Amino acid sequence: MKVFTIKHRTLTLLVISALLLSAFKLGHKQQKWVLDKVLFPPNSPVLVPTESSEKQLDSMANLIKQLADKKQKGFILRGNSDIGVDQGISLARALSVKKALLERGVNEPILCIGLGISQRASTRRGDPKNRRIELETTDAQLSYSDEKIYLDKGKLMINSGFKHFDACTFGYEAAQTQAQLLLRNAKGKITNSIQLPTASGKHLIKGIEESNKLTFYADGAVLGTFNITETDELLLETSKGQLAINYVLVVGKP
């Protein structure tokens, strides 16, 4: 894949970044931006290099650096995929954008999450909006280590809304860590929790939804079940130690 580099930052990029940053100064609320100029071909995680996408990536890289200077803890890239294609591409798309940001000098921790079609913007096949990338801020303490992302004593949103949710998978490595999955309703109240395995080593967690029941498995064994509604949210929380997360992939119903 051909890599395009921008030698000079334009005044336009600096103005855009300044405007975005000014909104953040109101407080450390979660912020979200849609990278609408960053495009992908159907069924592909390869970035389409255009002048507008390069400018937007430059702008977002500059923004991340400025927010980090304002003590923002971490960032999340959420990828999406088209209907009828491999939903794992959503995670690969987020990773492609992360690579492009790292090439632009971003050193801040970024966690990539693939949402598959669970958060699709349109039911029309081939709609570019279903291939979008979103950047979010998070107050969870994330840090780099050997291409893993560490979550330090905080909450991390995995999925918002279960209307199109089918399943999710994530891998992590524990070391004297206390972590749990949380179910939060539309009013912000935690309604249920499931403890994750604390034994040192690598673990694979899978959640499968059926008839409004979301059952989680750890390394093949049942952990527990949530009774869910369309408006509930799924979070991951650590209360002791660090959780080294390898990836998060959410799969949606066709």
- Tell me which of 86 and 219 has the higher pLDDT: 219
Residue 4 clears pLDDT 90, i.e. is over it = no
Helices 11-24 + 51-69 axis angle, to 10: 40
Number of domains comprising the chain? 2
- Tell me which of 49 and 225 has the higher pLDDT: 225
In the block, tokens 């280590």 appear at 145
Shortest CA distance to 189 belongs to which of 235, 140, 238, 248? 235
Averaged pLDDT of the chain: 82
**pTM of whole model > 0.75?**
no
Q: Is residue 23 part of a domain?
A: no
**Contact (CB, 8 A) for 215 and 196:** no
pLDDT digits (tens, 9 = 90+) for 205-216: 999 999 999 999
The H or E element spanning position 214 is: strand 213-218
Label residue 186 by pLDDT band (50, 70, 90): very high
In this structure, what CATH number is given to the domain that contains residue 95? 3.30.1330.60
The C-alpha atoms of residue 194 and residue 173 are separated, in whole angstroms, by 17
User: Does 151 lie in the same domain as 128?
Assistant: no
Single out the residue in 113, 139, 165 at which a domain terminates.
Answer: 139
Range of the domain at 249: 145-254
In this structure, what CATH number is given to the domain that contains residue 220? 2.60.120.200
Single out the residue in 109, 139, 169 at which a domain terminates.
Answer: 139
User: Does 249 lie in the same domain as 198?
Assistant: yes
- Tell me which of 128 and 235 has the higher pLDDT: 235
User: Does 229 lie in the same domain as 164?
Assistant: yes
Q: Is residue 6 part of a domain?
A: no
User: Does 104 lie in the same domain as 169?
Assistant: no
User: Does 159 lie in the same domain as 197?
Assistant: yes
pLDDT of residue 56: 96
Q: 119: burial class by Cβ within 10 Å (0-12, 13-18, 19+)?
A: buried
Q: Which amino acid is at 73?
A: K
Report the pLDDT averaged over residues 203-229.
Answer: 94
The C-alpha atoms of residue 60 and residue 17 are separated, in whole angstroms, by 7
pLDDT of residue 116: 85
Q: Is residue 21 part of a domain?
A: no
